[in-house]
Amino acid sequence: MTPTPPTVDLLVAPRWLLPIEPQGLVLEQHALIVDAGRIRDLLPLAEARQRYLPRQIIDLPQHAVLPGLVNLHTHAAMSLLRGIADDLPLMQWLQEHIWPAEGKHANPAFCEDGARLAFAEMIRSGTTCVNDMYFFPDATARVAGELGLRATVGLITTDFATAWAADADDCIHKGLELHDALKDKPLLRTIFAPHAPYTVSDAPLRKIRRYADELGIGIHMHVHETAHEVGSALQATGKRPWQRLKELELLGPDFIAVHMTQLSDEEIAEAAQLGVHIAHCPESNLKLASGFCPLARLQAAGVNIGIGTDGAASNNDLDLFGEMRTAALVAKAVAGDPQAVSAAQALHMATLGGARALGLDAEIGSLSVGKSADFIAVDLSRIATQPLYHLQSQLVYAAGRDQVSDVFVAGRALLRGGQFTTLDETRVLAKAGEWREKIKPYA
Ligand SMILES: CSC[C@H]1O[C@@H](n2cnc3c(O)ncnc32)[C@H](O)[C@@H]1O
Ligand SMILES: [Zn+2]
């Protein structure tokens, strides 16, 4: 007697499966089996139909299924500041426009409505995991939880007073409270987020290193974003910020350095040796004319890199498909080498690279048996992606975010057939309109 096949939650049958690991592998006529939120199997479709009894089958005959994208650096709520001040260098943009607007408006309601707008855009674009840094991280966490998005929320720290906290110690104290409050939420995690070397002094950075070690929390910080940042630190202290952070023992395998457009050969070697991860935000760096992160040199040294959009006020979208393409194209131009950062490498950075930086690579980042079922489907039958010769090439160099049809996190659909399942789009748009009226004087 043949045994009854096991019942499972879901069988996904796409035209192509791109597990990401091993790099370059493309499976055709294969199925993804999901049960209890996890990837139970990846096997030829004919065999899958015999071996499992799925409660639900999703046929995707023109689609590629791949791991959900990881946005390794953003400021979600800044979606409400999209387009208020364009075409400026970083410090003028921050000091004359963004910080005054945030000083007036960045309250819990702003952060909640902004995060909802940002996460709607991200889910639609195939992002399943986000590493955020903003005021009122409790509000960001609440919205991610409501929508079912996987999020690491930054325990923001600045020396200066904000509506969120009175000073750096207050930031750390409030951050630790939030860390405790999120302990039982499997999709939500925290990360220390000292804003930048020029806004956080040594004493709180030492405290952050101590708590990070004690509690196993990572650290996420803007570092060497511009030549101006490095030059003014050198002038004021005689040290480059990287050197200062190294002396404070902040740099290590739990540290994500955002931007890193200014790097000597020695600093690249140190990043590799210390196991520091880089969050590369090419479009924000281009728009603010901050500089170019030397991707090919970092990859050659063995540094792990993920991709971020930065906030919507310096990008101005939250589209990781666009960001992958920009990352690959700019890397080629910077290295003077068309082989620098291939389509497969760009996909790897936007999935497993980001997951690894967050310490989540045992859980997400590739379609591997036992990992969480965080995956997306991309419809490749559109004009923009036909004819199709090479899957990764099409996904990075030709596909648009509008081709994302389905988004799952931990086996739960957040987008099915292009429709949100956990979010009221009309409400999100109405709130964006209300905020526009309040913020308009700053634009
Ligand atoms: C204190 S929460 C985050 C803080 O960072 C600001 N910000 C947004 N984008 C950037 C960037 O590219 N470099 C430095 N700081 C940035 C944001 O406006 C918030 O004030
Ligand atoms: Zn940023």
In a domain, 431, yes or no: no
**Ligand located closest to 257 CA:** 2
Q: Identify the pLDDT of residue 223.
A: 98
Over residues 225-254, the mean pLDDT reads 98
Q: Identify the pLDDT of residue 12.
A: 98
In a domain, 26, yes or no: yes
Clarify whether residues 140 and 258 are in a common domain: yes
Q: Identify the pLDDT of residue 8.
A: 98
| Mean pLDDT, rounded, of the chain | 98
Beta-bridge partner residues of 190: 153
- 137: tokens are 């991280």
pLDDT band with cut points at 50, 70 and 90 for residue 2: confident
Q: Residues 101-116: pLDDT tens digits?
A: 999 999 999 999 999 9
Q: Give nearest CA residue, ligand 1 atom 5.
A: 195
For residue 387, is the peptide bond before it cis, meaning its omega torsion is within 30 degrees of 0? yes
Distance 390 CA to ligand 2 centre (A): 33
In a domain, 426, yes or no: no
Clarify whether residues 375 and 313 are in a common domain: no
Residue 296, domain extent: 69-357
Name the domain boundary from 311, 331, 357. Answer: 357
Token pair 């620098």: residue: 340
Clarify whether residues 282 and 381 are in a common domain: no
* CA distance linking residue 182 with residue 152, whole number of Å: 10
Ligand 1 contacts (CB < 6 A) are 75, 90, 94, 98, 102, 133-135, 156, 158, 195-196, 222, 225, 284, 310-311, 314
Instruction: Identify the CA nearest to 134 among candidates 71, 74, 182.
Output: 74
Name the domain boundary from 357, 377, 409. Answer: 357
* CA distance linking residue 131 with residue 119, whole number of Å: 12
Clarify whether residues 353 and 393 are in a common domain: no
Over residues 173-183, the mean pLDDT reads 98
**Ligand located closest to 224 CA:** 1
Q: Which atom of ligand 1 is nearest to the CA of 195?
A: 1
Name the domain boundary from 357, 391, 408. Answer: 357
Over residues 213-242, the mean pLDDT reads 98
Residue in 74, 140, 195, 259 to alter for ligand 1 test, most ligand atoms within 8 A of Cβ: 195
pLDDT at 3 over 90: no
In a domain, 362, yes or no: no
The domain tally of the chain equals 2
Clarify whether residues 41 and 153 are in a common domain: no
225 labelled ligand-binding = yes
Clarify whether residues 225 and 374 are in a common domain: no
Clarify whether residues 241 and 319 are in a common domain: yes
Clarify whether residues 17 and 123 are in a common domain: no
Q: Residues 290-349: pLDDT tens digits?
A: 999 999 999 999 999 999 999 999 999 999 999 999 999 999 999 999 999 999 999 999
* Check: complex ipTM more than 0.95: yes
Clarify whether residues 301 and 207 are in a common domain: yes
Over residues 274-303, the mean pLDDT reads 98
280 labelled ligand-binding = no
CATH assignment at residue 27: 2.30.40.10
In a domain, 147, yes or no: yes
Q: Residues 115-165: pLDDT tens digits?
A: 999 999 999 999 999 999 999 999 999 999 999 999 999 999 999 999 999
Share of the chain above pLDDT 70, in %: 100
pTM recorded for the entire structure: 0.98
In a domain, 439, yes or no: no
**E strand intervals along 49-149:** 53-67, 69-74, 127-132
Q: Residues 404-426: pLDDT tens digits?
A: 999 999 999 999 999 999 999 99
Clarify whether residues 116 and 206 are in a common domain: yes
Clarify whether residues 271 and 404 are in a common domain: no
In a domain, 438, yes or no: no
Contact 421, 415 (CB under 8 A): yes
- 152: tokens are 């690491």
DSSP string covering 332-377: HHHHT-TTSS-HHHHHHIIIIIHHHHTT-TTTSSS--TTSB--EEE
Distance 142 CA to ligand 2 centre (A): 21
Distance 98 CA to ligand 1 centre (A): 8
CATH assignment at residue 292: 3.20.20.140
Share of the chain above pLDDT 90, in %: 98
Over residues 43-47, the mean pLDDT reads 98
Q: Which atom of ligand 1 is nearest to the CA of 199?
A: 1
Over residues 239-259, the mean pLDDT reads 98
In a domain, 423, yes or no: no
Clarify whether residues 151 and 235 are in a common domain: yes
> What is the Rg, in whole angstroms, of the alpha carbon atoms belonging to the chain?
21
Q: Identify the pLDDT of residue 264.
A: 98
Q: Give nearest CA residue, ligand 1 atom 20.
A: 99
Q: Give nearest CA residue, ligand 1 atom 16.
A: 94
Token pair 């104290």: residue: 173
| Cα dihedral: 413, 326, 299, 123 (round 10) | -10
